[in-house]
Structure 1
């Protein structure tokens, strides 16, 4: 796999402050985790349990389950006693249920994901290349013209614009953009022009390159992508940077965290969407016996289940776990693990429960407090813009009682703000 125009060894030059110094760990500190409930709810506090699910029942909301509501007695979901150290979201979620990304629509529709960026109709790569050339020609730069093009074209269309620009003018669009732009807006526009797979591979390379390792970047990418995406990233990493990603991970990480990331790199997660409730019950019992049910922790058991089961299967396992342990699985992971492996395992569980909510949380903490982790903000907005940024925005509003656009507007400025808001949509 080759991406013309990108140096084979380093890809894009490192951007100043990528990620910002001192902000490498963008996961909220221990005690600040708050995560929406599993759709379908958990047993009410006080030890109530669900009856066994009927064979082949739908999940969640299958016949035989009581109405959603309540949480395990010592869990860390909104509204639960806070033994797990997870403060509730402001206002909580009524009935202990994840709010529907699209209230009023049937569940089958809600599961659909949607990006804020769609392929532009009546697309003309040559015309767009001409607009960009005119915006950069002569004295000064027409940043608004550049924003109007890049924020309203799909990644595939941007690759065609890049090729047309070189054909028409004999110049490299990326080099021209770099000479005209600087700072965060430069990083954002260059990220938009990277092929999606290349951008993920590039982000992983820069997370491990040089002194220090940006573990949160490794977790965010490797623990959330599909099998096909991971395999393509691994191949791209090899072809573009001439390096083996597993070897780099082994050099930069260690212990159970290293093993979890190596498992993720295989891209072999079961993707069967049919839920086996008996297996979910067995896995939940296995996880309980590997953690809460014994002295010490059998880390390999958690790695095996969370790295190999499909996300719908894991969601069923989380439900079963709450009935067995009277505690949600995120809270148990919080008690049994620490550091990067804890963050990695939680990320997998969170994505199984509600992937848009996971990214909404990441975006929130990239801007919360003093300073902004611009690289995380840019990476998530760019990588999810054609996948599920619509749902991420909806979850952001429901989780934090403010819109993503409002928070971006208050945390950024200038053309950088304009471009981010153009991608996110109002």
Structure 2
């Protein structure tokens, strides 16, 4: 059916309709694969998709990616990314986060380890930040964020902004933001997709389609609360070519 539609459709309409027909995990795998193509790598796409998934979602994504593209996701990351950013993405896609560990008594100790790896020393221990943020359960990390703020009078978000730069900073901030409030994180992703000159249509389509049956209603609420206007009105202003198609039952 998808092949038949590709013959009949074109442009933005084709991309929206085909995105609606593809299973969510396959769509995400396609976009990860596209992020590796061409000159350079689309790091924003990799961060949004790979730094925000739980173990089950990551394992499904890796399986679909390998089946469809005949290569492992880890091999692609090793080839197409580098440095500590590559280490972060590989750690976040290991699928080995200890999701059952909610021992909140560990929170102050982990907060101290993060402090000693960053603001509490000369230089930064990037590996320690990556290790902690990729290894522990979301409830425990939420407690770590609170403990860090209480103990050091500075949010971990601000600490990351002062200690890191570039893609690694963006990746770590995505991990923290999505754990604290995932709908709010996606609201910012949607906003960023429509900022500046032009619109990042693939990101916009991916975000709306993949979250439509999960938490899009909450994302819309977070968007309006943060930016003072509805997501619908913002998309209509910025996307004359595609907004009419996106609203075919997706946003309602």
Q: Give your verdict on TM over 0.5.
A: yes
> Who is 1:236 aligned against?
64
What is the root-mean-square deviation of aligned Cα atoms in Å?
1.3
The residue aligned with 2:122 is 295
Aligned with 2:19 (options 191, 195, 213): 191
Q: Return the alpha-carbon distance in structure 1 between the equivalents of residues 243 and 164 of structure 2.
A: 38
- Spell out, residue by residue over 1:160-218, the C-alpha distance to the aligned partner (whole angstroms, 9 max, x if none): xxxxxxxxxxxxx2122112221111111111111111111111111112321111111
Distance 2:30 2:139 in 1: 30
Instruction: Give, in whole Å, the separation in 2 of the partners of 1:331 and 1:375.
Output: 30
Q: How does 1:81-230 map to 2 (within 5 A)?
A: 173-230=1-58
Asked whether the 8 Å contact 1:223–1:264 carries over to 2, the reply is yes
Count of aligned positions:
252
Take 1:423 and 1:294, find their aligned partners in 2: how far apart are those partners? Answer: 52
Distance 1:256 1:423 in 2: 41
1:423 CA drift (Å)? 4.1
Are residues 1:422 and 2:251 paired? no
TM-score by length of structure 1 reads: 0.58
- Map 1:18-417 onto structure 2 (within 5 A): 173-272=1-100, 275-414=102-241, 416-417=242-243
Task: Give 5+ residue unaligned stretches, structure 2.
Answer: none
Give the drift of 1:386: 1.4
CA offset at residue 424 of structure 1? 4.3
Structure having the larger proportion of residues in helix: 2
CA spacing shift, 1:365–1:423, aligned 2, 3 Å:
farther
Are the equivalent residues in 2 in contact too, given 1:231–1:267 (CA < 8 A)?
yes
Q: Deviations over 1:351-407 (max 9, x none)?
A: 111000000001011112321111110110111111111110110010111000010
What is the CA distance between 1:324 and its match in structure 2? 1.8
**Offset of 1:413 from its aligned partner?**
2.1
Q: Is the 8 A contact 1:311 1:351 kept in 2?
A: no
TM-score (ref. length: structure 2): 0.96
- SS at structure 2 position matched to 1:224: coil
Distance 1:425 1:264 in 2: 30
1:131 aligned residue = none
Equivalent-residue separation in structure 2 for 1:248 and 1:425 (angstroms): 34
For 1:263 and 1:364, the matched residues in 2 are separated by 27
SS at match of 2:197: coil
Q: Give the Cα–Cα distance (whole angstroms) in 1 for the partners of residues 209 and 249 of structure 2.
A: 8
Q: Which residue of 2 aligns with 1:44?
A: none
